[in-house]
């Protein structure tokens, strides 16, 4: 499984994490190319249904990143998101999906290095888990 | 008890205090009672009540919101009414609550299947269900056939009522031993059980139709753009439907158990909804349906919410 390259759906909030990814890029920081970025206005925009659907459609993992608590552009969006993600993550692990398929993080616009670090960490963990067998729709 | 309910209903309808009375009537055979709307004093004679009346009547309240409605309400029904009020679906002053302290409802479908032959008559005597079949008289323990939610019910008495029928009962011990037991299994075992349960589903949506919280006019499962759930019986579609349904229930589910009780295929659903309820109670100190003034669980937050799972 040495040449296994996972696909990681990455949902970034426009104001912090996406700008953080931008900074990582402009600073020429290296990070794995396994992430596929979707930009959303706020982490509070992310409906848990998105994650369930993405997993079912076959991505190897999902990583969602937003502003640090207190830094949300819309003041409280990420606090609402935090509750939702907590319930979702616990439920999916409870029914038996492997731990480490869903990741959440807070990355601010000035944390380019941190963005690259987390991207590396998430990719490493997902590579260790290998391709997903549970909850993948066969077409 | 049934006579008392009829008497109250007769009085309410006769005096024109309410337009309809939501209750139960005899179903198509013994061991079944179905929801019934009494609109006239004559229809009141059909009303009945027993632990075989499995459905939560709060489901029908949003459909009668222009009328004044009297409703037979157990503990879980009043909690559902609270959630519906907090979500702006119904108004308290249009509802007349006939409170019923509840000792739990029976898994009627499972019981009927376990008997395996025609049932002529059913009665409850001293904590036992006596079932008459053409051949013999079988006795089973009431407690053995209780719905799981009822077994560990903390709110058997109506939280509020305009009139109470019968004596208040002692709550059974709360807790979620069924959830804890499932949690102890390892990851692959859990997935195997989950997959086996969900693949029984035939997508009749009885769980959705009977649920007091599922009042959306357009359910996500019927949406074609985006198509969250595709047609057919692929197990990932069935699993997605049940997972997302449970997520929509988070902080709203009042644990009445109707979804599982009405399922024609016997899919276990409560181990999912009860797991979320357990988490919210343990980690957020949130119990749904206790206070109609409180916003829904996902409609509020606290600065010190659990966040240690976030990198």
Q: Are B20 and B137 part of one and the same domain?
A: no
E strand or H helix that includes residue B182: helix B177-184
Interface-testing mutation among A45, A86, A102, A107, with chain B (most B C-beta atoms within 10 A): A86
Q: Are B282 and B134 part of one and the same domain?
A: no
Q: Are B125 and B259 part of one and the same domain?
A: no
Res B84 pLDDT > 70:
yes
Q: Are B193 and B115 part of one and the same domain?
A: no
Confidence label for A1 from pLDDT (cuts 50, 70 and 90): low
Q: What is the number of CB-based contacts under 8 A between chain A and chain B? A: 104
- Mean pLDDT of the region B278-306: 91
Domain that holds residue B121: 108-145
Among all residues of chain B, which has the CA nearest to that of A136? B236
- Percent of the residues in chain B that have a pLDDT greater than 70, as a whole number: 100
Q: Are B173 and B212 part of one and the same domain?
A: yes
E strand or H helix that includes residue B98: strand B95-99
Would you give the DSSP letter of residue A136?
A: -
In a domain, B307, yes or no: no
Q: Are B229 and B241 part of one and the same domain?
A: yes
Closest to A118 measured CA to CA, from A65, A51, A68? A65
Give the bridge partners for B124, in sequence order.
B129
Examine the fold and report which residue of B92, B124, B145 is the final residue of a domain before the chain moves on.
B145
Of A69, A83, A99, the CB nearest to B298: A83
Closest to B239 measured CA to CA, from B185, B196, B188? B196
Examine the fold and report which residue of B88, B123, B145 is the final residue of a domain before the chain moves on.
B145
User: In chain B, what residues touch A99 (CB-CB under 8 Å)?
Assistant: 187
- Mean pLDDT of the region B37-49: 92
Whether the CB-CB separation of A32 and A67 falls below 8 Å is answered with no
Q: Which of residues 271-300 of B touch A (CB under 8 A)?
A: 272, 275-276, 279-280, 283-284, 297-298
Q: Are B178 and B283 part of one and the same domain?
A: yes
Confidence label for B116 from pLDDT (cuts 50, 70 and 90): confident
What fold, for A8-129?
Rossmann fold (3.40.50)
Q: Are B221 and B238 part of one and the same domain?
A: yes
In a domain, B196, yes or no: yes
Res B97 pLDDT > 80:
yes
Q: What is the pLDDT of residue B6?
A: 93
User: In chain A, what residues touch B273 (CB-CB under 8 Å)?
Assistant: none
Helix, strand, coil abundance in chain A, percent, nearest 5: 40, 15, 40
**Could you tell me the residue ranges of all domains in chain A?**
8-129
In a domain, B305, yes or no: no
Q: Are B66 and B211 part of one and the same domain?
A: yes
Q: Are B135 and B260 part of one and the same domain?
A: no
Examine the fold and report which residue of B99, B129, B145 is the final residue of a domain before the chain moves on.
B145
How many domains are there within chain B?
2
Confidence label for B9 from pLDDT (cuts 50, 70 and 90): very high
Average pLDDT along chain B: 91
**By the CB < 8 Å criterion, does B83 face chain A?**
no
Res A2 pLDDT > 70:
no
């Amino acid at each position: 499984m040495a040449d296994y390259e996972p696909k990681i759906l990455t949902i970034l909030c426009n104001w912090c994490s996406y700008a953080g990814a931008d900074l990582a890029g402009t600073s020429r920081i290296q990070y794995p190319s396994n992430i596929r970025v979707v930009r959303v206005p706020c982490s509070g925009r992310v409906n848990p249904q998105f994650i369930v659907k993405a997993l079912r459609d076959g991505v190897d993992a999902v990583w969602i990143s937003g502003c640090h608590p207190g830094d949300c552009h819309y003041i409280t969006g990420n606090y609402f998101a935090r509750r939702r993600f907590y319930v979702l993550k616990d439920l999916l692990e409870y029914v038996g999906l492997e731990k480490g398929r869903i990741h959440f993080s807070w990355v601010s616009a000035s944390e380019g290095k941190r963005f690259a670090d987390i991207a590396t960490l998430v990719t490493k963990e997902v590579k260790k888990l290998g391709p997903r067998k549970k909850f993948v729709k066969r077409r | 008890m049934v006579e008392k309910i009829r008497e109250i209903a007769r009085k309410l309808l006769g005096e024109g205090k309410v337009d309809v009375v939501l209750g139960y009537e005899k179903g198509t055979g013994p061991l079944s009672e179905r929801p019934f709307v009494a609109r006239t004093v004559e229809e009141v004679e059909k009303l009945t009540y027993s632990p075989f009346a499995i459905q939560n009547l709060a489901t029908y309240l949003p459909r009668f919101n222009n009328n004044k409605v009297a409703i037979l309400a157990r503990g879980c029904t009043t909690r559902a009414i609270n959630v519906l009020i907090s979500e702006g679906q119904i108004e308290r002053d249009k509802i007349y609550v006939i409170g019923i302290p509840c000792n739990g409802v029976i898994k009627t479908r499972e019981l009927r299947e376990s008997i395996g032959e025609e049932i002529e008559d059913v009665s409850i005597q001293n904590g036992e269900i006596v079932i008459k079949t053409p051949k013999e008289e079988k006795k089973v323990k009431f407690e053995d056939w209780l719905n799981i939610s009822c077994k560990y019910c903390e709110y058997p008495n109506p939280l509020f009522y305009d009139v109470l029928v019968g004596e208040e009962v002692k709550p059974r011990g709360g807790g979620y031993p069924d959830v804890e037991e499932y949690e102890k299994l390892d990851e692959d075992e859990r997935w195997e059980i989950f997959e086996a349960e969900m693949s029984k589903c035939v997508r009749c949506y009885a769980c959705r139709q009977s649920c007091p919280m599922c009042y959306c006019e357009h359910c996500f499962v019927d949406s074609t753009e985006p198509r969250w759930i595709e047609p057919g019986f692929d197990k990932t579609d069935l699993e997605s439907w049940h997972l997302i349904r449970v997520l929509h229930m988070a902080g709203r589910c009042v644990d009445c158990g109707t979804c599982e009780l009405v399922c024609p295929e016997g899919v276990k659903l409560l181990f999912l909804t009860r797991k979320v309820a357990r988490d919210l109670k343990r980690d957020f100190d949130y119990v749904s349906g206790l206070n109609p003034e409180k916003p829904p669980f996902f409609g509020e937050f606290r600065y010190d919410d659990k966040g240690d799972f976030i990198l």
